[in-house]
Amino acid sequence: MGLRVLWIISHEGGENASIRFSRRFPTVEHRARSLSGSSYVAVPEDSLILQPLLTELGISSSNKSYVAQRDDCIYRPRSPALELRLDGEKTLWPVLNVSQGPLILACLPLVDVPSETRPPLSSLLSVSQGLTLLAGLQTFLLGSGGKPYGDGLISRLEMLPSALLQVCPLGTPLDVPLVGVPATPAAPIPAGTQKQPAWKTGLHRGRAMVNVAVTETVRSMQYGNQSRQDLWDVYGTVTCKCEVEGVLPNVTVTLSLPPNGSPLQDILVHPCVTSLDSSILTSSSVDNLDGSAFSGPYKFPFSPPLEPFRLCSYTSQVPVPPILGLYQLKEEDNQLHLTASLKLHETVKNNFEYCEAHLPLFNRNQMGGADVKVSFGQVDVSKEKNLLVWALGMYQILQPQVKKDSINPVSLIIKQK
């Protein structure tokens, strides 16, 4: 396995984007050409990659806010693996990326399968290798402060070529665990001789603590018209922060579905996961969902890094939209009057710790300002994305007097440029 190319990009709210660093690996590219045969797609010049990548990430300064092949609900997101559409019908897949503030790290791993087939990402070792490398480079570039600015970033970018010679010689990442390696070795190994893996930057001393957070996203287009079918999909991530003593401590996180919950599919795990049941890895949204699908519990044994990390990501084919929405939009002169309301489906319990609604305004001029009137919560305006972000917060605590399974409307007046 290996990486064909690596990019580091900076931008300012989708503008003034530039590639700060790029590195291509000709030996891996030669292997990609041999494996792909007639379906081989060459990596174009850096100048031709920048705009498609920003567009796919939704941070481009282009006036075209809605891109059908990216935003339509029939295209299921595979974050953090993107499909970049080049000129004609050519595509690059899977382009992996991690972002923090105005800094984007992206790479294209070598995939030893034909481009026409798209196996689950969890079955591709090169995807795990690429994500591990990007996470390590992100820590290296940002340091302990975590701020992608200043002379510190410039000096670390200058050190990056020599660092890549150590951690990714000839495009092959080092110190990446193999899939299926058992957590406990066959013979006891003294703790002093255990090799510290690449994702573990140090050792913890003190009280053990494990924090787990589940974030789910519902992407939906609801028409309120029986002649048009509503579209929706659900995907989520599980993030962990573990403070456990030892070089390779063993931690297991178990996920259980609620009653009548839909099975998890397209599960992609962090490389620190040591073993998984085969039924977890083979569950794919491409297959028809039937009663034989594995419905948990989902157990993830792993040896955690010190920093917060994404343990796994998944999709789920739910039979009904978990959240029902309605909005009315009227245009008068140079203003838009928008009223929106949300309601949980009767089968969904309101047990959220935090809830946030994103309302994109496609095919509209860039917003110049907004006069917000909200029943509760807070609304932020992202002008470069023409996006309204309604933060409902800890809903049950803030609004105990409101009916449990409903969310009151929010009213907005938006002034366009």
Chain segment 5-34, per-residue pLDDT in tens? 999 999 877 678 899 999 999 999 999 998
Q: Is residue 176 part of a domain?
A: no
Residues 344 and 382 in one domain: yes
Q: Is residue 345 part of a domain?
A: yes
What is the reported pLDDT for 308?
86
Residues 296 and 329 in one domain: no
- Render pLDDT for 299-339 as a digit per residue (tens, 0 to 9): 999 988 878 889 999 998 888 888 888 778 888 777 777 77
- Specify whether the CB–CB gap between 381 and 407 falls below 8 A: no
CATH assignment at residue 340: 2.60.40.1170
What is the reported pLDDT for 57?
83
Residues recorded for the chain? 417
What is the reported pLDDT for 395?
52
β-bridge mates for residue 82, sequence order: 95
Least confident of 60-64, 154-158, 391-395: 60-64
Residues 345 and 227 in one domain: no
Residues 238 and 161 in one domain: no
Q: Is the pLDDT of residue 182 over 50?
A: no
Domain total of the chain: 3
Q: Is the pLDDT of residue 240 over 80?
A: yes
What is the reported pLDDT for 410?
47
Can you tell me the mean pLDDT for 71-86? Answer: 72
CATH assignment at residue 128: 3.30.450
Q: Is the pLDDT of residue 415 over 80?
A: no
For 286-324, give the DSSP string: TSPP-TTS----EEEEE---SS-EEEEEEEE--SS-SEE
Closest CA to 348 of 260, 255, 220, 223: 260
Q: Is residue 195 part of a domain?
A: no
Q: Does the predicted model carry a pTM greater than 0.85?
A: no
Residues 251 and 336 in one domain: no
Residues 18 and 160 in one domain: yes
Range of the structural domain that residue 303 is part of: 209-316
Q: Is the pLDDT of residue 189 over 60?
A: no
Can you tell me the mean pLDDT for 181-189? Answer: 35
Q: Greatest CA span in the chain, whole angstroms? A: 76
**Which whole-number Å values give the CA distances from 91 to 34, 52, 55, 94, 291, in the listed order?**
18, 10, 14, 9, 35
What is the reported pLDDT for 331?
80
Residues 154 and 29 in one domain: yes
Chosen domain end from 299, 316, 333: 316
Can you tell me the mean pLDDT for 118-135? Answer: 83
Residues 16 and 154 in one domain: yes
Residues 350 and 310 in one domain: no
Residues 304 and 224 in one domain: yes
Residues 301 and 327 in one domain: no
SS3 for 31-52 is HHHHHHHHHCCCCCCHHHHHHH
